[in-house]
Structure 1
Amino acid sequence: MTSVKKQTQVRLEEDVLGAGRAAARARGLDFNKYVERLIVEDTTGARAAGMTAAQRLIDEHGGFLDDLEEQLDAPYADPQSGAAA
């Protein structure tokens, strides 16, 4: 089953358009699909639900994630940064 797509025109500032195109490329989407996805996520509540879930993850496991990040960064730490001046 195919849906009928409607065409519309949107006027954006050049920097906003550039940022949108870059974000679409980073997600492997064409610009139209990226805009469509943003609208769907915003109007269905999917975006808010995802943000709530992400915040819950940070609230519940943020300390663990911070410790893990510190452990992963440790081999690359500057040995001079801990030295007394």
Structure 2
Amino acid sequence: MGNGKKQTQVRLEPTVLAAGKNAAAARGLDFNRYIERLIAEDTSGARAAGMAAAQRLIGTHGEGLDDLEADLDAQHTPAPSTRDAAA
């Protein structure tokens, strides 16, 4: 009746555990599945391939991404109040 999975125990610093649980929740995963995915990605080369692709994207389009980020930041920066300008 087993699923073939093995159980293990890991000791983590409380801040690392909390960060991991938050990251898992943000991805809609339970903590066990999140850890399983991290290990699988790391040992299969998928993580390295993803990082290499991200570096190529930044190398090719980095300046445009910087401009886009600046535009988005400008849209979300509160305008100075007229009361502050009069002071």
Structure 2 length as normaliser, TM-score? 0.78
Name the count of aligned residue pairs.
79
Report the identity percentage.
68
2:74 & 2:13 partners in 1: Cα distance? 42
Q: Does 1:13 align with 2:5?
A: no
Amino acid at match of 1:44: S
Pairwise CA distance, 1:78: 5.8
The 5 A counterparts of 1:16-31 are 16-31=16-31
Pairwise CA distance, 1:63: 0.8
Which sections of structure 2, spanning at least 5 residues, go unmatched? Answer: 81-87
Amino acid at match of 1:14: P
Q: Does 1:50 align with 2:50?
A: yes
Partner-residue secondary structure (3-state), 1:53: helix
**Superposition RMSD on alpha carbons, in Å?**
2.0
Change (3 A) 1:34 1:71: same
Q: Which moved more, 1:40-49 or 1:64-73?
A: 64-73
Amino acid at match of 2:48: A
CA offsets per residue over residues 14-72 of structure 1, 9 Å max, x none?
A: 11111111111111100000000000010001001000000100000001111222233
Structure 1 length as normaliser, TM-score? 0.79
1:76 & 1:32 partners in 2: Cα distance? 37
Change (3 A) 1:44 1:74: same
Amino acid at match of 2:20: G
